[in-house]
A and B are shown apart, each in its own frame.
Chain A
Amino acid sequence: MKTKNNILLYILFIAFFAILLPAGYLTGLLSVNTISVWGRYFCFAIAALGIDLIWGYTGILSMCQAFFFCLGSYGIAMHLLLKKTVAAGAALPDFMAWNKIETLPFFWQPFHSFGWSVILCLLIPAAFAFIIGLVLFRSRIKGVYMAIITQALTLAMWLIFLRNETNLGGTNGLTDFNSILGYSLSASSVKLALYLVSLAVLCTAYYCCYRITHSKFGKVLQAIRDSESRVSYTAYKVVDYKLAVFVVAALLAAVGGMLYLPQTGIITPGRMDVKASVEMVMWVALGGRGNLKGAVIGALLVNFLYSICTSLFPDSWLFILGFLFVITVLYFDKGFMGLGDTIRQKFSATRLKTSQTH
């Protein structure tokens, strides 16, 4: 029964996003921007899957997923910018020339090649996650302390990226790209292609996460969430498991960031400020943590709401999000996906009570 429901849900999801939306665009009902916007949401959903793995399943509240997301975005941005600069015959990207930089900084060099860019976009976040994780997990930092430290780290990185001296564009970030792998980014067909690639990657990521959570590895993760000490006394090396899932989550965030960049055309440090990193966690909280479908739907829904709300009442978005969050925490701790269950439970509880009083 439950698997039947699941399959129905998957079919509906794929049918809607892989067939209905592109069809809507091709028949002229939807603008290409709508398509592109959903493509961006898919990137957030990919990152949300990672957050669900580390937070929903393993119980580690990591606030630095936004930073990993940005690492992915910045990597691709650097590549696109270098391509454009070289094509224009200039030696340096514009912003560096304005900052009176004379030679290309060493860490920009590998980003001339697309292959290296992709590899580094994955390798750098993974290495960061590995080192941060190793230090934090080995010193047995848990719970709220973990959240505070990772948030502080994101804040520190945000400050570093804001500086002009970092040579990553400072506050303005990196923008003004024209093509990816030779295809013009402003072309509608490229936008549609990027949308479809994002959807495909999201589905693949979902499948991988599904396999992970349904394996014994996934059960160990949930066991760590429930009772970490019992896991140790049962002879599992908790640090290894936490590290592995932290790296996987960082990779998912980075992949999301890599696909996000060409669809928005700009990356600024604002993507990893405190607000952004809290928001990413909220997608999962609202969607339903410990539930992969919840993470995807949470990310899509919250961002969809965001685009509606910011156009209708631009100033009150954060209030709306905060209100939703409070309601979720107070009444629906399983989030949107657990809504049915929660209501059913409440309903049967009241029915039980009334039948007892009679």
Chain B
Amino acid sequence: MLLNVNNLSVSFGGVHALNLDHFSLRDKELRVIIGPNGAGKSTFLDIICGKTKADKGEITFNGKSILGKSEVQIAETGIGRKFQKPSVFPGLTVYDNLLLAAKMKKDIFTSLFFKSTPALEEKIHHVAVKLSLTNVMYKPAGDLSHGQKQWLEIAIVVLQDPTLMLIDEPAAGMSDEETEKTGALLLELSKSHSIIVIEHDMKFVEQIANELVTVLVRGKRLMEGTFAEVKNDQRVIDCYLGRTNAQLETL
């Protein structure tokens, strides 16, 4: 298993945001996490990438514990994150955004005396083509549309070339056509990367969920299964429709 999570819990001011008994991810697996608002999906990714500190539990990535490590250390071990709200560098051009993301040594002196190589240019261009960013390469990232910013952030994560990509709501604010393109891209990426995707758009989930879907509710894992299983599960339907029933109460 690439990623193993056990008994992970975190609470904010006494409210249990996450209380996850177990979660594991195979190498090169694409996993979709769904769940109603406040289920702890983003919090889960925040903990993996080091943004939020967990109260207790363990997370091992490639056999090494990553809990308590800094964001930079976690990024260096090969975990890349795309946030729900696009987080790019608005003042820099799209090209510079991509250049900064590209995998290379990132200490001060390397940056100070950095010279671009044709191989790197090729790599950046390749990713830009894939995410339709070629005609906005020299525009400031702040001037892009919301959908383009989403793609730019995905491009940033792709260029980091992480082993594990954490993708938070990639299709939010996109047109149907853009959403489908994003889905196809994620499927293609999943051939060479492990990916965890959080998403609300069920059509989009259906498109990308070839493997397992995990359902989180109120910080706990409700169930895990294929998209068809999840879609037809009474508990999932209930919690999405906001109806409380006995099963949920005893969860």
Contact = CB atoms under 8 A, between A and B. Distances in A.
A230 B88 contact: yes
B88 A227 contact: yes
Contact of A219 (B87, B96, B113): B96
A215 B92 contact: no
A164 to B, nearest CB: 42
A229 B83 CA distance: 11
Contacts of A230: 87-89, 156
Contact of B76 (A225, A227, A235, A244): A235
A353 interface: no
Contacts of B15: none
Given A229-B87, A233-B80, A233-B81, A220 B111 contact: yes
Given A234-B101, A237-B72, A227 B89 contact: yes
A226 B100 contact: no
A341 interface: no
A37 interface: no
A303 interface: no
A16 interface: no
Contact of B112 (A215, A222, A226, A227): A215
B99 interface: yes
B51 A216 contact: no
B75 interface: yes
A216 B106 CA distance: 10
Contacts of B42: none
B114 interface: yes
A225 B91 contact: yes
Contacts of B87: 227, 229-230, 233
B106 A226 contact: no
A240 B107 contact: yes
Nearest to A230: B87
Nearest to A239: B72
Interface residues of B, number: 28
A234 B114 contact: no
A124 interface: no
A223 interface: yes
Interface string A208-249: 000010011101101101110111111111101100100000
A216 B160 contact: no
B196 interface: no
B225 interface: no
Contacts of B99: 216, 219
A219 B100 contact: yes
A231 B89 CA distance: 9
Contacts of A233: 49, 71, 75, 80-81, 87
A215 B111 contact: yes
A257 B71 CA distance: 39
B173 interface: no
A225 B76 CA distance: 22
19 contacts: A215-B114, A216-B112, A217-B108, A222-B89, A225-B91, A226-B90, A226-B91, A227-B89, A231-B100, A232-B71, A232-B72, A232-B75, A233-B75, A235-B72, A235-B76, A237-B72, A238-B72, A240-B107, A241-B108
Given A233-B71, A233-B81, A237-B107, 17 more contacts: A212-B112, A216-B114, A217-B111, A219-B99, A223-B92, A226-B88, A226-B89, A226-B90, A229-B71, A230-B88, A232-B71, A232-B75, A233-B49, A233-B80, A234-B160, A235-B76, A237-B72
Interface of B: 49, 51, 70-72, 75-76, 80-81, 87-92, 96, 99-101, 106-108, 111-114, 156, 160
